[in-house]
Chain A
Amino acid sequence: MIRFGLLVILSVILYSCSKTQGRPGAVLPTIPTPTITDFTPDTGVVGTEVTITGFNFSPDLSANVVRFNGVIAEVKTASPNTLTVIVPADAISGRIAVTVKQRTFTSAKTFTVLKGTWLQKADFGGSARGNAVGFSIEGKAYILTGYSSAWENDLWEYDTLSDAWTKKADFPGDARERAVAFAIGKKGYIPKRIEFTITEIQDIANLAFGDIDENNEIDDYSITDNGDRNKVLATVAYAAEIYLNKYPERWIYFKGSTQERTRLYRMAIGLNLDELTLKFDIYAEQANGIIPFRKNIEVKGLLIRKKNV
């Protein structure tokens, strides 16, 4: 019995010695496995920030490797229980895995990568409303009409280059909602206004026309290339004829807001000079005064009145 007791004690001593000397079968320090309990959101586009909750994450950012279905993501913040990561480019839908010190945990649920991206642009310039309509022309969007606290008839232009909304002339019809809007080619709803204003000189009216700005006034320095130059010129010519029929004693003075525009008017008159001179006296402003209009002469401005006054 005593001999058996010594054998047991000796065995215990020998076993204890083998542990301390690191022989095969020794117990190593435990490395905790990271665990994901949840993450949110579970859908998002590339660049979305995702918060992963769980435990055994490393507080050292670089010690956590997070993969979205195999694609490594940037870790923004790290604590033992929370990681925030960014959905990486080229990510595809699938499970999220977290690796800390070569121990990996893969989530049970999957993250769905949404295609496409949204960028927030400038808020609509008008009042919040429903049932508005819109169309676009050459990189600019137009929203008009609708209902807010009342029916609206305003028109707003959105410029993608400046990321800004500009109020344009009101829709000339009755305010309404659920209207119809469209664009064909370069043409849409862009009103222009023609005005005749008496100048400091009696019986000379200044002709102004152009787009209408946010104050509902003529923006006589704006440029709107709608491809409808001839239609605009024809409309202005017709309006001028109406005006001179009503005020046959008056002159109309007009010039372009740029040299190019004045040249355009000169060319339009030159092309139709024979017909125009049957009805009108036309003079060209030059550096030293005015002379009767002829083709291909210097023109700084134009004066026109009805013939036979």
Chain B
Amino acid sequence: MRQKTIKYKSDLFKQEVTLTVDENLNKLKGKVLAPKKLAAANKSLRRLKDFLPK
């Protein structure tokens, strides 16, 4: 299980957070892990792409 844990003190939120990085997820190329969210994002972005600042 390739994971590493990062502890970070957020100045913005005045919180210490723990981030666990799972390198195994990087192997999942082509697999959509949040399909509903990605589909909604694509739908919105088709409409917005022409407005993006360069």
- Which A residues lie at the B interface, using CB under 8 A? 172-174, 191, 193, 195, 197, 199-201, 204, 206, 208, 210, 217-218, 220-221, 230-231, 233-235, 237-239, 251, 253-255, 257, 268, 272, 275-276, 281, 283, 285, 289-290, 300-301, 303
- Is B46 among interface residues, defined by CB-CB distance under 8 A? yes
Q: Digit string of B15-54 for contact with A (CB within 8 Å is 1, else 0)?
A: 1011110100100000011101110111011101101110
Contact residues in A for B17 (Cβ distance below 8 Å): 231, 234-235, 238
The answer on a CB contact under 8 Å between B11 and A172 is no
* Interchain CB contact (< 8 A) of B37 among A206, A235, A237, A289: A206
Residues of B within 8 A of A (CB): 1, 3, 8, 10-15, 17-20, 22, 25, 32-34, 36-38, 40-42, 44-46, 48-49, 51-53
Closest chain-A Cβ to B27's Cβ sits at a distance in Å of 14
In the complex, the answer to whether B8 meets A238 with C-beta atoms within 8 Å is yes
Complex CA–CA separation, A301 to B43 (angstroms) = 12
Contact, CB under 8 Å: A197 / B53: no
Q: A230 to B45, Cβ gap below 8 A?
A: no
Q: Judging by beta carbons under 8 Å apart, are B44 and A197 in contact?
A: no
Q: B42 and A200: CB pair below 8 A? A: yes
Interface contact A255-B41, CB-CB below 8 Å:
yes
Which residues of chain A have C-beta atoms less than 8 A from B41's C-beta?
Answer: 199, 206, 253-255, 301
Is B33 a contact of A218 with CB atoms below 8 Å?
yes
Contacts of A206 in B (CB 8 A): 34, 37-38, 41-42
Known: A234-B12, A275-B12, A303-B48. 13 other contacts (CB 8 A): A172-B1, A200-B42, A201-B45, A218-B34, A230-B13, A231-B15, A237-B10, A237-B13, A253-B41, A276-B12, A281-B53, A290-B51, A301-B41
Contacts of B37 in A (CB 8 A): 206, 208, 218, 220, 257
* Chain A: CB-nearest residue to B32: A197
Chain A minimum-CB-distance residue to B25? A195
A193 contacts across to B, CB distance below 8 A: 33
Known contacts being A195-B25, A255-B41, A301-B44, is A220 close to B36, with CB within 8 Å? yes
The residue that A234 contacts in the complex, of B10, B32, B48, with Cβ under 8 A, is: B10
Complex formed: what's the CA distance from A204 to B45 in Å? Answer: 9
Residue of A nearest to B47 (CB): A289
B13 A233 Cβ-Cβ under 8 A? yes
Whether the pair B33, A217 counts as a contact (CB closer than 8 A) is yes
The verdict on A290 contacting B52 (CB below 8 Å), with A172-B20, A221-B36, A253-B45 known, is yes
In angstroms, Cα B18 to Cα A239, docked, is 10
Cα–Cα distance between A272 and B11 once the two chains are bound (Å):
10
CB–CB A220/B15 < 8 A: no
Q: Determine the distance from Cα of A233 to Cα of B17 in the docked complex, in whole angstroms.
A: 10
Nearest opposing residue in chain B for A283, CB measure: B53
- List 18 A–B pairs whose Cβ atoms lie within 8 Å, in order of A's numbering: A173-B1, A195-B25, A195-B34, A197-B34, A206-B42, A210-B34, A217-B34, A220-B36, A234-B8, A234-B13, A235-B8, A235-B10, A235-B19, A253-B44, A285-B44, A285-B48, A289-B51, A301-B44
* Alpha-carbon distance A301/B18, docked complex (angstroms): 26
Cβ–Cβ < 8 Å partners of A251 in chain B: 52
Residues of A within 8 A of B8 (CB): 234-235, 238
Give the residue name and chain of the A residue nearest to B11 (CB).
Answer: A275
Smallest distance from the beta carbon of B14 to chain A beta carbons, Å?
Answer: 8
